[in-house]
Amino acid sequence: MTTQLEHPWQAALDKVKTWARVNSPWAIHFNTGSCNGCDIEIVATLTPRYDLERFGVKLQGSPRHADLLICTGPVTRQARDRLIRVYEQMPDPKFVVAVGSCAISGGAFRGCYNVVGHIDKVIPVHAYIPGCPPRPEAIIDGVVKLLGSLQPPAAKN
Amino acid sequence: MTTSVQTGTPTDPALGRAETILARWAPVASRPEPNRLDVPVPAEDVAQAAQALGRERWGYLAAITGLDHGPEADRLEALYHFCSGAAVLTLRALLPRHGGTVPSVAETFPLAMFFERELSEMFGVTVAGTPDPSRLFLPDDWPTGVYPLLKDVNPQAALAAQSETAPPRLQGKSDGDRFIVPIGPQHPALKEPGHFAFEVDGEVVKGASVRLGYVHRGIEKACEGQTWVQNLYLLERVCGICSHTHATCYALGVERLAGVEAPPRAQAIRVILGCLERIHSHLLWLGVAAHEAGFETLFMYSWRDRETIMDLLEQLSGNRVNYSCNVLGGVKFDISAEQAQAIRRALDFVEERTRHYLEVVSTDTLFLGRTQGIGVLSRQEAEYLGTVGPTARASGVPIDIRVTHPYAAYRAFPAEMVLDTAGDLTARFVVRMKEVFESGRVIRSILDNLPAGDLTVKMPRRIKPAETISRYEAPRGEVFYFLRSNGSDTPERVHIRTPSLCNWTSVLTKAVGAQLADVPLLLAGMDPCFSCNDRTVVITRPRRDPQVLSWEALRSAARQDRRR
C-alpha cells in the first residue's frame, strides 16, 4: 500500500492515492450461491433511484480492474474455488464486502450439504451488510462506511 | 372440501384418454386426487409407456421425482409426472434401493435428460441410454457413490470423511482448430454464476454447453429435516425474484395435503402479490435484456419504474424482496382501502410506462435489428423441447397454469393467456410486456371485488400420509412441486421443478448457428434464473443444418444423438 522509502513526495503521493481510491472504487459482483434476492438489490442500488455511482462506485467486469469485491450468498462447494480465483486475480489493495445474511453466516442455508459456509470462511471480509436481503440504502451505507474507513484519521475531518 | 381445492373439473376427461392410451397398465391405476392418475408400471416398461403418451401427444413431461421409501421398506420409486391442462398423470416405477435401472425416455421427451441425470446423481439410479450421464448439479469434487437424497445418507458426514483434496480446476479447452469462448462463472453480463462455453467458427456459434450448479445448495434435503412451517421460510429463498411464487406454491400444496382451504380473502391477497411480483420481474427482465442488447437507457428507465412496484411491495409486506406473505392456511397481512388506492395509482403509472416500452421494443428500428427474426422457436420445437412460460407462449404454445389449471383466486378472477406466434426475441418482449397489463387488470378486478372475511384458518401441525402436486405459474413459467407427508410434522419428500430448467434446451439449441453477438440476448430472452434451477450441463453440438430443422428432422436427430 505504501512504500517504505522516505521521500519528500511520499506523503503527498499517499494522499493522492487515498483520494483516488476513496473517490472512485471499482467494484465487481460475484454470486457464490445466493438466492438472487441480494443480487437484484445490488443492481437496484446501481440504477437511478439509488445510484451508487454518486459515490464514484462503478460496477465493471474484470476482477483485474476491481478494488471492491461484492459477494452475495453462502459459498457453495462448486463456487468456492471460483471465489478464491476471482479474489486472487484482483490487484492489491482489495476489499471484500459480504452482502446479506447468507454471506455473513450462511443464513437460511446454513447446514445444507452443498454449502461450505459464509464468505469469511473462504476469503477475508472487510465490511458486512446484514439483511435478507439488505435494502439498497443499507448497501450504500455499508460501502460508504468501508470507504470512510480507508481514510487516514487526519484526512477524516 | 379438501381435494377439489385446486381442480377445475371433478374428473378430467384427459385422464380418461390417458387410461385408454395406457390400457396395458391401467388395471392397477388409481386416482389419488380428482385431477391425478397414478399408473404403476414395471421399471423396464417406462420408456414404452412414455412413447405411447408421446405418440398420442398426451401432454408434456413435467418432472421426474425420485422417492426413497427408506432402508426398512428397502425400495425406491421413480415418478414420471406428465401434465395436460389440469390433469397430472404419474407413472410410478418401483426400483430396488441400490443398483436400480430404468430406461431413458429422452428420445420421446428430450427434456428428460435433465431429470434423468438428477435422478441418477441424487438416488444412484442408472438410466440406461440417457444421452448424457454426467453430473447435473453436484459439484465437480463430489465423492462418487454418495447419493444425497437417499434417506439414510448423511452427505455432510460423507464429505467430512472425504480426504481434503484441491477441487479440480476448470480446464481451458484447446482442441485443434476449435475456438472456444468461455463465459462465466463470474461475468459482468451475468448477475448469477453459470459457466458457458461457446464453440465458434468466426462469428458463428457451432456448439454450446453450460455448467451450472454453482448455486446448488441442497434445499430439497434440508426440507426433510425441518417442519412444514419452517420450510415455508426456506423455500421462499429458493429464488429471490420469485420468492412469493415458491412460498405460495408450497403453501397451496401443504394446505391441500392437510385438507384445509385458505379463506377467499387470503387467496385474493396471494394472487395480488403474485401479480405484483410478475410485474416487477418482467420489468426487471426488460432492463436486463435491454442491457444485454447494449440499450442502457432502457435498462435504467425500466428499473427506475420498477421501483414503484417495489415501494408497493414494501408498503404491503414490510420487505422489498422476500415478502413473507404466506402462512400455512392463509396470509399474514391485509390490504386496506388506502393501500388498494395506492396500488391503483402505482398501476396507472406503471401501465403508462409499459405502454411506452411496448412501443419501443416493437417499433424501434435499432432494437428490432437485435431481436426481430432472431432465435425463432417454432411452436412444434417449443413443445418438443418442453419449453414453458413466456418463452413458450411467444411461440404460440398455450401453456399457462393460471388459465389451464387456475389456483388460489384465479378461479374467481380469471386471467387471460397472452400468446404470440412469431417465436422470435421480439415476441418474447411483446408477450412479457402484455403480461404486465394482464397482471394489472387482474389486480384491479380483485381490488374492486376483494372478498371479505378472515385471513387465516387453523392448520394441523401434523399431516396424515398423502401425496400431492402443486403447480403455479411463476413469471418464468410453470413451477412444479411434489409433496409427500408421512403423518409427522416434517415432510417426507419435497421435490421442486423450476421453469428455467425446462428452457435451457431451447436456448442452447437456438444458440447453435447464431451469431456470437446475439448469444447474450438469446440467453436473456428466456429469462434464466440460476438460483431456481441450479443444475445442468447441456452439450449441444451442431446438427446438419441447425437453422431449418423440421419436426421430423428434429426427432430423428434426437434418435441419432441417443445412439451415439
pLDDT reported for residue B381: 87
pLDDT digits (tens, 9 = 90+) for B207-257: 887 777 788 888 888 899 899 999 999 999 988 888 999 999 999 999 999
**Helices B264-292 and B296-317, interaxial angle, to 10°?**
160
Residues A132, B217: C-beta atoms closer than 8 Å: no
CA distance A97 to chain B (A): 16
Cβ-based contacts of A107 with chain B (< 8 Å) = 237
Q: With b meaning 16 or more CB within 10 Å and e meaning fewer, what string describes A62-99?
A: ebeebbbbbbbbbbbbbbbbbbeebbebbeeebbbbbb
Chain B residue whose CA is closest to A87: B186
Query: Is residue B369 over pLDDT 50?
Result: yes
**With a cut of 70, which residues of chain A have pLDDT below it?**
1-6, 152-157
pLDDT reported for residue A36: 87
Mutate to test the interface with B, among A77, A96, A102 (most CBs of B within 10 A): A77
Give the confidence band of B545 by pLDDT, cuts at 50, 70, 90: very low
**Helices B425-448 and B264-292, interaxial angle, to 10°?**
150
CA distance B471 to chain A (A): 21
Looking at the partner chain, which of B167, B213, B217 has a beta carbon nearest the beta carbon of A81?
B167
Looking at the partner chain, which of A31, A73, A114 has a beta carbon nearest the beta carbon of B139?
A114
Tell which residue, A69, A80, A73, A79, has the closest CA to residue A37: A73
Cβ-based contacts of B166 with chain A (< 8 Å) = 81
pLDDT digits (tens, 9 = 90+) for B276-310: 999 999 999 999 889 888 888 999 999 999 999 99
Chain B residue whose CA is closest to A69: B186
pLDDT reported for residue B451: 93
DSSP string computed for chain A: -------TTHHHHHHHHHHHHHH--EEEEEESS--SHHHHHHHHHHSTTT-GGGGT-EE-S-GGG-SEEEEESPEEHHHHHHHHHHHHHSPSS-EEEEESHHHHH-GGGTT-TTEEE-GGGTS--SEEE-SSSPPHHHHHHHHHHHHHHHS-GGGG-
Give the confidence band of B107 by pLDDT, cuts at 50, 70, 90: confident
Nearby residues of B459 by Cβ (< 8 Å), 6 or more positions away = B254, B255, B258, B260, B327, B328, B329
Residues A79, B215: C-beta atoms closer than 8 Å: yes
CA distance B507 to chain A (A): 21
Cβ-based contacts of A113 with chain B (< 8 Å) = 148, 155-156, 159, 218, 221-222
CA distance A30 to chain B (A): 6
DSSP B514: S
CA distance B10 to chain A (A): 37
pLDDT reported for residue A155: 47
pLDDT reported for residue A111: 86
Query: Is the CB of A11 inside 8 Å of chain B's CB atoms?
Result: no
Helix (H, G, I), strand (E, B) or coil at B312: helix
Looking at the partner chain, which of A39, A76, A81 has a beta carbon nearest the beta carbon of B217?
A76
Contact B528, B228 (CB under 8 A): no
Residues B192, A113: C-beta atoms closer than 8 Å: no
Query: Is the CB of B239 inside 8 Å of chain A's CB atoms?
Result: yes
Chain B residue whose CA is closest to A83: B186
Query: Is the CB of B161 inside 8 Å of chain A's CB atoms?
Result: no
Record the pTM: 0.89
Query: Is the CB of B148 inside 8 Å of chain A's CB atoms?
Result: yes
Looking at the partner chain, which of A76, A82, A133 has a beta carbon nearest the beta carbon of B240?
A133
Cβ-based contacts of B187 with chain A (< 8 Å) = 61
pLDDT reported for residue B165: 52
pLDDT reported for residue B561: 52
Residues B191, A29: C-beta atoms closer than 8 Å: yes
pLDDT reported for residue B544: 35
Residues B240, A39: C-beta atoms closer than 8 Å: yes
Mutate to test the interface with A, among B187, B215, B285 (most CBs of A within 10 A): B215
Top-confidence residue, B475 or A2: B475
CA distance A150 to chain B (A): 26
Chain B residue whose CA is closest to A137: B320
Q: What is the ipTM of this complex?
A: 0.88
pLDDT reported for residue A124: 93
Percentage of chain B modeled with pLDDT above 70: 88
CA distance A24 to chain B (A): 18
Half-sphere exposure of B513 (CA within 13 A, CB side): 18
Q: What is the CATH number of domain A26-149?
A: 3.40.50.12280
pLDDT reported for residue A6: 67
Give the confidence band of B177 by pLDDT, cuts at 50, 70, 90: low
Cβ-based contacts of B156 with chain A (< 8 Å) = 111, 113
Domain ranges of chain B: 13-160, 179-214+502-563
CA distance B303 to chain A (A): 6
Query: Is residue B338 over pLDDT 90?
Result: yes
Question: What do you get for the CA distance between the two ends of chain B, in Å?
Answer: 52
Percentage of chain B modeled with pLDDT above 90: 49
pLDDT reported for residue A10: 80
Query: Is the CB of B139 inside 8 Å of chain A's CB atoms?
Result: yes
HEC sequence for B322-370: CCCCEECCEECCCCCHHHHHHHHHHHHHHHHHHHHHHHHHHHCHHHHHH
Domain ranges of chain A: 26-149
Nearby residues of B253 by Cβ (< 8 Å), 6 or more positions away = B468, B469, B470, B481, B483
Give the confidence band of B500 by pLDDT, cuts at 50, 70, 90: confident
Query: Is the CB of B320 inside 8 Å of chain A's CB atoms?
Result: yes
Q: What is the CATH number of domain B13-160?
A: 3.30.460.80
Chain A residue whose CA is closest to B238: A35
CA distance B201 to chain A (A): 25
Give the confidence band of B163 by pLDDT, cuts at 50, 70, 90: low
pLDDT reported for residue B445: 95
Chain A residue whose CA is closest to B232: A108
For residues B451-474, give the mean pLDDT.
93
Give the confidence band of B34 by pLDDT, cuts at 50, 70, 90: confident
Pairs across A and B, CB distance < 8 A: 148
